[in-house]
Amino acid sequence: MVGISGLALLIFSPFVLTSCTTQKTEAGNGAPATRTVPVTVAQAKHRDMPVVITGIGNVSPVQTVQVKSMVTAEILQVHFAVGQDVKKGQLLFTLDPRSFEADLAKAQGQLARDQAAAANARTDQERYHSLLKEGVVAQQQYDAMNSSAAQYDAAVQADKAAVESARVSLQYTKIYSPITGRAGDILVHAGNLIKANDLAMVVINQMSPIYADFSVPEKNLESIRKYMAAGSLKVIATLPESSAPLAEGKVAFIDNSVDRATGTIGLKAEFANQQRNLWPGQFVNINLQLTTERNATVVPTQAVQNGQQGPYVFVVKPDKSVEVRNVDLGPADKIEVVIREGVEAGETVVTDGQVRIVPGSHVEWNSSTSLTEPQGKQS
């Protein structure tokens, strides 16, 4: 048995010696071999960073009008097309005016008759006044004549009101647009009988300017009021699926109370909307710019990691080893974030591959990758 053990020792000894020799060769001077980790990096830099509050807005017209008839009549003619832009004072509908013309003529005839009777009663009243002075008629007769003249005067006033009412009703047979805007679907047509103040004949929305209603957390109210007092606040609207600016406007209104249920404050942004990029009822992303931090230090947002001590980044040192830096974050957008403390402009940070490294790890990256522009950055 001893001979077998010695033989085994002699057989395995070369492998043991070979393995030890290989380890020393790879490490050099007996030090452990250093493994480099492939990562993606970017360089911290200076840039002007807008301080932006984001929210979801709903586009609403400054004015919207449901056009209704003030009288009951048959529609004779529609003077515009579906979806047409109309101007304030433009003729929209013509109703059958014949019955209203007859009512006006009747009221005018009644007025003329009562005016003649009133004139005759006033003449008799003056005559009886002279006879009363001469003692020919009694005071009672004069008072009766004076009362009759006053009644005819009152009838004339009532007739004038009736004439004016008939004239207004006749004017209502021509329906004009009360605002400048875009007409929706025409809900009635020529030949239909429309009742007074019944169905909407058409809805008109003012398209320019236009509002977008949105809400922000109440914690932002103080900042909004502060910067709004210094001037108007710029607002940019974008579509939910795109970051390209759709329209640019300003904050026009801050609500007078905070919604207790949601802890938000309502605002309105006003847009000129000359190009009709915004449409009533549309949902848009709202970017409210409070101010701009000049010459701020920024890094790509993917460089920032969250740990128990707060946000941190991996900074690459000149020897290509990495160290952990806790950072104080500022405003951010979809691409970059402001670093107020922890990283200086010009330093290199890891933007991808953080899960494979620990403090002290050595890293490598493709030298053809620009350090000044993070990969995937939008122009």
Containing 127, the helix (H) or strand (E) segment is helix 98-134
Look up residue 48 and give its DSSP letter. E
Span 36-48+295-364: which CATH code?
Answer: 2.40.420.20
Q: What is the pLDDT of residue 139?
A: 86
* In the predicted structure, residue 375 carries a pLDDT above the cut 80: no
Contact criterion met (CB below 8 Å) for 51 and 292: yes
Higher pLDDT, residue 24 or 121: 121
User: Using one digit for the tens of pLDDT, what is the confidence trace for 285-301?
Assistant: 999 999 999 999 999 99
Which 3 state secondary structure label does DSSP give 119?
Answer: helix
Instruction: Show the DSSP H helices in 187-334 as ranges.
Output: 221-229
Enumerate the domain spans of the chain: 36-48+295-364, 53-63+206-293, 67-96+176-205, 97-172
Write down the pTM of the prediction: 0.70
**CATH superfamily to which 97-172 belongs:** Helix hairpin bin (1.10.287.470)
Q: What is the pLDDT of residue 282?
A: 95
Q: What is the pLDDT of residue 314?
A: 96
User: Using one digit for the tens of pLDDT, what is the confidence trace for 187-197?
Assistant: 999 999 999 99
User: Using one digit for the tens of pLDDT, what is the confidence trace for 104-132?
Assistant: 999 999 999 999 998 998 888 888 788 87
CA atoms within 13 A on the CB side of 53: 22
Span 53-63+206-293: which CATH code?
Answer: 2.40.30.170
Q: What is the pLDDT of residue 34?
A: 60
Q: Which two tokens stand for residue 266?
A: 């309502």
Q: What is the pLDDT of residue 19?
A: 37
Span 67-96+176-205: which CATH code?
Answer: 2.40.50.100
Helix axes 98-134, 139-171, angle to 10 degrees: 160
User: Using one digit for the tens of pLDDT, what is the confidence trace for 342-357?
Assistant: 999 999 999 999 999 9
Q: What is the pLDDT of residue 7?
A: 36
Mean predicted lDDT score pLDDT of the chain = 87
Higher pLDDT, residue 78 or 240: 78
- Residue keyed to tokens 């004072």: 89
- For the chain, give the percent of residues with pLDDT over 70: 88
Q: What is the pLDDT of residue 44?
A: 95
